[in-house]
Amino acid sequence: MKVYSLPILFIAVLSVLQSTGQTLSKKVIAQLDAVEKEMFAATSNGDSLAFRKICGEDYYTINANGTAQSLEEALPYVTRFKGSTVELSQQKQRIYGNFALRTGFGKAFINGKLVAEFLYTSGWIFRDNRWQFIHWQGTPTGILLEGKGLMEPPKN
Protein backbone atom coordinates (compact mmCIF):
# COMPACT_ATOMS: atom_id res chain seq x y z
CA MET A 1 0.00 0.00 0.00
CA LYS A 2 2.85 2.43 0.77
CA VAL A 3 4.36 1.81 -2.67
CA TYR A 4 1.30 3.35 -4.32
CA SER A 5 0.85 6.31 -1.97
CA LEU A 6 3.80 8.36 -3.30
CA PRO A 7 2.77 8.20 -6.99
CA ILE A 8 -0.83 9.01 -6.07
CA LEU A 9 0.31 11.98 -3.99
CA PHE A 10 2.51 13.17 -6.86
CA ILE A 11 -0.39 12.97 -9.34
CA ALA A 12 -2.70 14.81 -6.94
CA VAL A 13 -0.20 17.65 -6.41
CA LEU A 14 0.50 17.89 -10.14
CA SER A 15 -3.23 18.11 -10.88
CA VAL A 16 -3.68 20.95 -8.38
CA LEU A 17 -0.69 22.86 -9.78
CA GLN A 18 -1.87 22.50 -13.37
CA SER A 19 -5.38 23.62 -12.52
CA THR A 20 -4.23 26.95 -11.04
CA GLY A 21 -3.57 28.49 -14.47
CA GLN A 22 -6.63 29.85 -16.25
CA THR A 23 -7.35 29.42 -19.91
CA LEU A 24 -6.65 32.59 -21.84
CA SER A 25 -9.30 33.85 -24.20
CA LYS A 26 -8.32 34.73 -27.76
CA LYS A 27 -9.03 38.36 -26.89
CA VAL A 28 -6.58 38.34 -23.95
CA ILE A 29 -3.92 36.55 -26.00
CA ALA A 30 -4.33 39.17 -28.74
CA GLN A 31 -4.00 41.97 -26.17
CA LEU A 32 -0.84 40.42 -24.70
CA ASP A 33 0.62 39.81 -28.17
CA ALA A 34 -0.03 43.45 -29.12
CA VAL A 35 1.49 44.96 -25.99
CA GLU A 36 4.49 42.62 -26.17
CA LYS A 37 4.98 43.71 -29.80
CA GLU A 38 4.86 47.36 -28.62
CA MET A 39 7.44 46.59 -25.93
CA PHE A 40 9.86 45.05 -28.44
CA ALA A 41 9.23 47.95 -30.86
CA ALA A 42 10.13 50.41 -28.09
CA THR A 43 13.42 48.61 -27.44
CA SER A 44 14.16 48.18 -31.16
CA ASN A 45 13.66 51.91 -31.58
CA GLY A 46 15.76 52.67 -28.49
CA ASP A 47 12.74 54.59 -27.17
CA SER A 48 12.96 54.66 -23.38
CA LEU A 49 9.88 56.93 -23.09
CA ALA A 50 7.69 54.43 -24.98
CA PHE A 51 9.20 51.59 -22.94
CA ARG A 52 8.37 53.44 -19.69
CA LYS A 53 4.72 53.85 -20.79
CA ILE A 54 4.38 50.09 -21.37
CA CYS A 55 5.91 49.17 -18.02
CA GLY A 56 4.40 49.23 -14.57
CA GLU A 57 6.20 51.27 -11.92
CA ASP A 58 7.15 47.97 -10.25
CA TYR A 59 8.99 46.63 -13.34
CA TYR A 60 11.96 44.43 -12.42
CA THR A 61 14.46 42.71 -14.69
CA ILE A 62 17.03 40.00 -14.10
CA ASN A 63 19.68 40.27 -16.77
CA ALA A 64 21.75 37.62 -18.50
CA ASN A 65 24.87 38.91 -16.73
CA GLY A 66 23.37 38.21 -13.31
CA THR A 67 22.43 41.78 -12.45
CA ALA A 68 18.94 42.98 -11.58
CA GLN A 69 17.36 46.38 -12.19
CA SER A 70 14.25 48.37 -11.38
CA LEU A 71 12.49 50.35 -14.10
CA GLU A 72 14.48 53.49 -13.36
CA GLU A 73 17.75 51.55 -13.43
CA ALA A 74 16.85 49.77 -16.69
CA LEU A 75 15.67 52.79 -18.70
CA PRO A 76 19.16 54.11 -19.62
CA TYR A 77 19.92 50.76 -21.30
CA VAL A 78 16.93 50.82 -23.66
CA THR A 79 18.76 53.03 -26.17
CA ARG A 80 21.46 50.34 -26.52
CA PHE A 81 18.98 48.13 -28.36
CA LYS A 82 18.16 50.66 -31.09
CA GLY A 83 18.26 48.87 -34.43
CA SER A 84 17.82 45.42 -32.89
CA THR A 85 15.14 42.93 -33.84
CA VAL A 86 13.88 39.88 -31.99
CA GLU A 87 12.35 36.66 -33.27
CA LEU A 88 10.28 34.76 -30.70
CA SER A 89 9.20 31.13 -30.79
CA GLN A 90 8.07 28.32 -28.49
CA GLN A 91 5.83 30.81 -26.69
CA LYS A 92 3.58 29.71 -23.87
CA GLN A 93 1.47 31.70 -21.50
CA ARG A 94 -0.36 31.21 -18.27
CA ILE A 95 -2.69 33.56 -16.48
CA TYR A 96 -3.38 33.79 -12.77
CA GLY A 97 -6.14 36.30 -12.08
CA ASN A 98 -4.85 39.59 -13.51
CA PHE A 99 -1.24 38.34 -13.88
CA ALA A 100 0.16 36.65 -17.00
CA LEU A 101 3.44 34.80 -17.43
CA ARG A 102 4.80 34.45 -20.95
CA THR A 103 7.75 32.22 -21.73
CA GLY A 104 9.60 31.33 -24.88
CA PHE A 105 12.77 31.27 -26.92
CA GLY A 106 14.21 34.34 -28.59
CA LYS A 107 16.85 35.28 -31.10
CA ALA A 108 18.20 38.84 -31.07
CA PHE A 109 19.68 40.47 -34.15
CA ILE A 110 21.56 43.74 -34.59
CA ASN A 111 21.90 44.99 -38.15
CA GLY A 112 20.66 41.58 -39.30
CA LYS A 113 23.40 39.69 -37.46
CA LEU A 114 22.44 37.12 -34.83
CA VAL A 115 23.94 38.30 -31.52
CA ALA A 116 22.06 36.31 -28.87
CA GLU A 117 19.77 33.34 -28.29
CA PHE A 118 17.84 33.16 -25.04
CA LEU A 119 15.01 31.66 -23.05
CA TYR A 120 12.83 34.24 -21.39
CA THR A 121 10.05 34.80 -18.91
CA SER A 122 8.04 38.01 -18.99
CA GLY A 123 5.45 39.07 -16.47
CA TRP A 124 2.41 41.20 -17.28
CA ILE A 125 -0.26 42.55 -14.96
CA PHE A 126 -3.64 43.91 -16.00
CA ARG A 127 -3.95 47.10 -14.00
CA ASP A 128 -5.44 50.54 -14.69
CA ASN A 129 -7.32 49.06 -17.70
CA ARG A 130 -4.18 47.95 -19.54
CA TRP A 131 -1.52 45.24 -19.56
CA GLN A 132 1.66 46.50 -17.89
CA PHE A 133 5.07 44.93 -18.38
CA ILE A 134 6.45 44.26 -14.89
CA HIS A 135 9.06 41.52 -15.20
CA TRP A 136 11.74 40.23 -17.55
CA GLN A 137 14.25 37.45 -17.08
CA GLY A 138 16.39 36.18 -19.92
CA THR A 139 18.85 33.31 -19.91
CA PRO A 140 21.34 32.90 -22.77
CA THR A 141 21.15 29.51 -24.46
CA GLY A 142 23.51 30.00 -27.38
CA ILE A 143 25.67 32.82 -28.54
CA LEU A 144 25.78 36.06 -26.60
CA LEU A 145 27.43 39.26 -27.72
CA GLU A 146 29.97 40.00 -24.99
CA GLY A 147 32.24 42.96 -24.47
CA LYS A 148 30.36 45.14 -26.94
CA GLY A 149 28.94 47.58 -24.38
CA LEU A 150 25.35 46.34 -24.42
CA MET A 151 25.31 46.09 -20.63
CA GLU A 152 26.69 49.59 -20.09
CA PRO A 153 24.61 52.77 -20.02
CA PRO A 154 24.95 54.82 -23.19
CA LYS A 155 27.50 57.60 -23.22
CA ASN A 156 25.88 60.97 -23.83
Express each pLDDT in 121-136 by its tens digit: 999 999 999 999 999 9
What pLDDT is stored for residue 146 in this prediction? Answer: 53
DSSP string for residues in 50-75: HHHHHEEEEEEEE-TTS-EEEHHHHG
Q: What would the pLDDT profile of 23-37 be if each residue is shown by its tens digit?
A: 668 888 899 999 999
Q: Mean pLDDT, to the nearest integer, of 70-77?
A: 96
Name the DSSP class of 1.
-
Cα pseudo-dihedral 58, 145, 103, 97, rounded to 10: 0
Residue 7, pLDDT > 60, answer no
User: Side chain identity at 17, as an amino acid letter?
Assistant: L
What pLDDT is stored for residue 143 in this prediction? Answer: 67
What pLDDT is stored for residue 145 in this prediction? Answer: 56
Neighbouring C-beta atoms of residue 118, cutoff 10 Å? 19
Task: For each of the domains in the chain, give its residue range(s) and CATH number, in order of start.
Answer: 23-144 (3.10.450.50)
Share of the chain above pLDDT 70, in %: 76
What pLDDT is stored for residue 63 in this prediction? Answer: 86
